[in-house]
């Protein structure tokens, strides 16, 4: 059986129908299925990011995979069948799936295998919080790569550069600890417990996050939990999506004579929510570029509140979805219609919204006369 480490997803799977199937392999019962979930999530997220048309077959989808299914970006089936294998351009099996391999051989379909590493005891347990950047593995720092190469356990979420895991942590146990907005996921408390449990068992643990650990990344929560348990923690900063995603869309957050600064705020709670700490009226008066994270669902509330606070309805705005990935999309519109245009586009999280005159700058390359 061919190993998944032997193929390059970005070259071979774009536009192709890839079946990912899994079953409980021998030897992971002690992990309570967590290692299997992590291996499945890593495979699906990597293939999806590479542009494959993914079908997942199996019972009990991991959180990150369930999120993609709910968004209509990945298909699902309850179990693999011979017919599904015959329809696929490529099959990726996770764990022990002998029937799938037999069906693939009979249909002359390539079947790649992704193993599930067994757990073990190690010396010198530590935790490293790694910021993975906006999603493209090329934007992961060299120090982040080094930490992943040395990792024995990796806890990752759906916004992390999962494509980097296959090459950088091929023998590590992968654990999916995604937090899916308004959906299933791993609580922050459980993530903290897993970090401590695996470090206490002696493993070199990496918590791989999207963006930067300390920019809406709950890095502070995880560092405190480890510190209270006496676990050594190292932080590897990452390229924050708040800065990098607008840049990748050609939007500068500051520009001479246009904007002298920017404000980055979390939009996961609407402005009228009692727990919302964002002073929208003050934000509207600053004259700075406004960057909203986690604000897809609340964008109508923020656009309305900013206009009520006096921000010109014609102020240029843009929402960038899946920044840095192959499927990046940008919706540009004035503040008065931005939320409506985003809703009609059908894009969902993860997305970042930028509001301010900088969005209206024409930064397309000039052509010689």
* Measured distance CA(121)–CA(191) in Å, rounded: 20
The contacts of residue 112 (CB under 8 Å, 6+ apart) are: 1, 2, 3, 4, 6, 7, 90, 91, 92, 93
Asked if 157 is an active-site residue, the reply is yes
Catalytic choice (37, 136, 157, 176): 157
DSSP character at residue 138: G
Catalytic choice (179, 209, 301, 322): 179
Question: What is the helix (H) or strand (E) element at residue 156, kind and residue range?
Answer: strand 153-156
350 cis-preceded (ω within 30 degrees of 0): yes
* Measured distance CA(141)–CA(167) in Å, rounded: 15
255 - beta bridge partners?
A: 259
* Measured distance CA(250)–CA(359) in Å, rounded: 9
Strands 153-156 and 262-266: what pairing? unpaired
- Ranges assigned E (strand) in 53-132: 53-57, 75-77, 90-95, 111-114, 126-131
Asked if 179 is an active-site residue, the reply is yes
DSSP character at residue 145: H
Count of alpha carbons within 13 angstroms of residue 111, beta-carbon side: 26
Which residues are the active-site residues? 157, 179
């Amino acid at each position: 059986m061919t190993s998944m480490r032997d193929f390059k997803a970005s070259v071979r799977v774009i536009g192709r129908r890839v079946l990912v199937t899994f079953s409980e392999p021998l030897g992971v019962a002690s992990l309570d299925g967590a290692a299997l979930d992590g291996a499945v999530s890593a495979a699906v997220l990597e293939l999806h990011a590479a542009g494959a048309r993914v079908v997942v077959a199996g019972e009990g989808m991991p959180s990150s995979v369930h999120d993609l299914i709910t968004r209509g970006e990945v298909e699902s089936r309850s179990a693999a069948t011979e017919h599904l294998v015959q329809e696929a351009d490529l099959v990726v099996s996770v764990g022990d799936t002998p029937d799938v391999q037999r069906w693939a051989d009979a249909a002359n379909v390539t079947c790649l295998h992704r193993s599930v590493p067994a757990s073990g005891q190690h010396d010198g347990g530590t935790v490293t919080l790694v910021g993975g950047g906006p999603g493209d593995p090329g934007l992961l720092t060299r120090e982040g790569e080094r930490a992943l190469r040395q990792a024995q356990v990796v806890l990752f979420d759906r916004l992390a550069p999962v494509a980097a895991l296959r090459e950088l942590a091929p023998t590590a146990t992968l654990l999916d600890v995604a937090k899916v907005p308004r959906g299933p996921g791993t609580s922050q408390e459980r993530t903290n417990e897993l970090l401590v449990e695996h470090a206490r068992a002696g493993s070199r643990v990496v918590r791989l996050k999207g963006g930067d650990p300390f920019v809406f990344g709950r890095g502070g929560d995880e560092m405190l939990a480890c510190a209270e348990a006496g676990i050594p923690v190292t932080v590897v900063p990452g390229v924050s999506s708040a800065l990098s995603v607008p840049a990748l869309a050609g939007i500068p957050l500051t520009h001479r004579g246009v904007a002298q600064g920017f404000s980055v705020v979390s939009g996961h709670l609407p402005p009228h929510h009692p727990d919302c700490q964002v002073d929208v009226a003050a934000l509207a008066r600053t004259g700075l570029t406004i960057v909203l994270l986690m604000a897809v669902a609340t964008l109508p509330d923020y656009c309305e509140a900013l206009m009520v606070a006096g921000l010109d309805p014609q102020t240029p705005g843009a929402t960038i979805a899946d920044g840095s990935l192959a499927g990046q999309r940008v919706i540009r519109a004035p503040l008065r219609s931005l939320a409506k245009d985003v809703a009609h586009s059908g894009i969902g999280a993860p997305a970042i919204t930028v509001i301010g005159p900088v969005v209206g700058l024409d930064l397309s390359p000039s052509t010689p006369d």
